[in-house]
Structure 1
Amino acid sequence: MNLKEQISQYKPYHAQEAKEQEVMLRYLDTFDNLLTRENEFAHFTSSAWIVNQDRSKVVMAYHNIYQSWSWIGGHADGDADLLHVALKETEEETGLTAIAPVSNDIYSLEILGVPAHVKNGEPIATHLHLNVTYLIEADENEKTTIKPDENSAVRWMDLDEAVKACTEPEMKVVYQKLNDKLKMMK
C-alpha cells in the first residue's frame, strides 16, 4: 500500500487530525516531491512514539535545535516507507535496537510548523512537516545513547512527565494527544 493509500485509510482521532489528513492528501495530489527536502514549503517526516511494554513510559530526547524534550523522528529523505524511517530514526537517535512497531498502521498524523533556523551552518526557511507517527515498543532496560549532532540526552519518562518536560506549547498538545490515544488502548 502506498503512502497516499495509508493516509487515506487512517481513521482520524479528532477533527484536527481529520483536517490535517485532508490537507496531506491534497498536498500529495499537488506536489510531486513531498518526500524530499527539495520541497521547501512542506515535506514528509516520520516520528516514533516509543513506549515500554506496559505502555506507562515513553522515550524522549533533548533536541539540540529546539532546546526541548521531544519525540524521535526525522525526514523521509526520499523513503516512502515512513514506518521504516521511524524505526531507523529510533535506532539512530536513541541507540535502542530491541524495538518493534506495535502495529504497521499509522498511529497519528500532524502538520507541524517549523520556524526558520540554522542547521549545520545553513539557514533553513520556515516550512511544514507533514508528519506520520508510528507507535513503537522498546525494551526500557536496554541502554540508550545520544546522537550528539541532534540530541544531548535520551531517557524514559512517565507519560505525563513527557508532556510536562516539553517546552514547546504546540508539541505539548501533540504529545498529550498521543498519550490520550495510548491510554485508550489499555
Structure 2
Amino acid sequence: MSLHDDAVLVLKAYEDQPELRQVYLDYLAAHPDGMWKACPDAHITASALVVDPSRERVLLTLHKKLRMWLQMGGHCEPGDATLTAAALREATEESGIEGLTLVAGGPVRLDRHRTPCAWHLDVQYAALAAPGAVEAISDESLDLRWFPYAEVADVADDSVVRLLEATRRRL
C-alpha cells in the first residue's frame, strides 16, 4: 500500500472535523502527488505533540524558519510507510527523544495552515515520552522546551492550543 493510500484510509477513519477531513480527501483524490513537498499548492504533513510521562507538560520546538513555538512535525518522506510512521519519525527527529509512542486512536486533529512553501494539510497526532526521556535540539530548531499545559497559550498560537486541547481529551 502506498503512503497516499494509507493517508486516505487514515482520513476516512477519522471521525472529527468532517468538513476539513473532506477537504483533505478531495485534495488527495485530485492530487496523486499530494503527499509530497514537491506538490506546489498544498501537501499532507504529519505532526505530533509530545507529552511528558506525567501528562502535565508538552515539548515544543522553536521552529528555526517560522520562529514560532510548535509541535514536532513536517513533510512526509519516501521512506515513510504510513502517515503514523511519518508523524513518529518527525517527532523523534525534532525532539531527539527515542522510544516515543503515539497515543492510540489515530490522529487527534487536522489543521490546515499556510507556510512559506505551500498550504500544509497537517494530520496531527499525540506522542508520549517514556520516563527519563531526554530531549535534544535538532537542526530545524532554535530551542526546545517543556511547557506546562497552562503556559502553552502564552507562547504558542491557537493551532497548538487546539491540538493540546484535543490531545488532553484523547488522553
For the pair 1:161 / 2:146, whether they are aligned, the reply is: no
For the pair 1:147 / 2:141, whether they are aligned, the reply is: no
- Kept in 1: contact 2:109–2:166 (CA 8 A): no
SS of residue paired to 1:74: strand
Match of 2:158 among 153, 158, 173: 173
Residue identity over aligned pairs, in percent, reads 24
Matched with 2:26 is 26
Structure 1 distance, partners of 2:62, 2:144, is 6
- Kept in 2: contact 1:83–1:104 (CA 8 A): no
Give the letter aligned to residue 20 of structure 1: L
Match of 2:15 among 11, 14, 26: 11
Residues 144-174 of structure 1: CA deviation (Å, up to 9, x unaligned): 11112x10211211113123112xxxxx222
The 1:90/1:185 distance shift into structure 2, 3 A limit, reads closer
SS of residue paired to 1:139: coil
Matched with 2:122 is 131
- Kept in 1: contact 2:72–2:91 (CA 8 A): yes
SS of residue paired to 2:146: strand
SS of residue paired to 1:47: strand
TM-score, normalisation: structure 2: 0.88
SS of residue paired to 1:2: helix
Instruction: Tell me how far 1:60 sits from its aligned partner.
Output: 0.4
How many residues get paired? 166
Matched with 1:120 is none
- Which deviates more from structure 2 when the two are superposed, residues 74-83 or residues 61-70? 74-83
SS of residue paired to 1:133: strand
SS of residue paired to 1:98: coil
Structure 1 distance, partners of 2:170, 2:41, is 35
The 1:134/1:183 distance shift into structure 2, 3 A limit, reads closer
- Kept in 2: contact 1:42–1:130 (CA 8 A): yes
SS of residue paired to 2:119: strand
**Structure 2: 5+ residue stretches without partners:** none
- Kept in 1: contact 2:49–2:163 (CA 8 A): yes
Instruction: Tell me how far 1:39 sits from its aligned partner.
Output: 0.7
- Matches of residues 7-86 of structure 1 in structure 2 within 5 Å? 7-12=11-16, 17-78=17-78, 79=80, 81-86=82-87
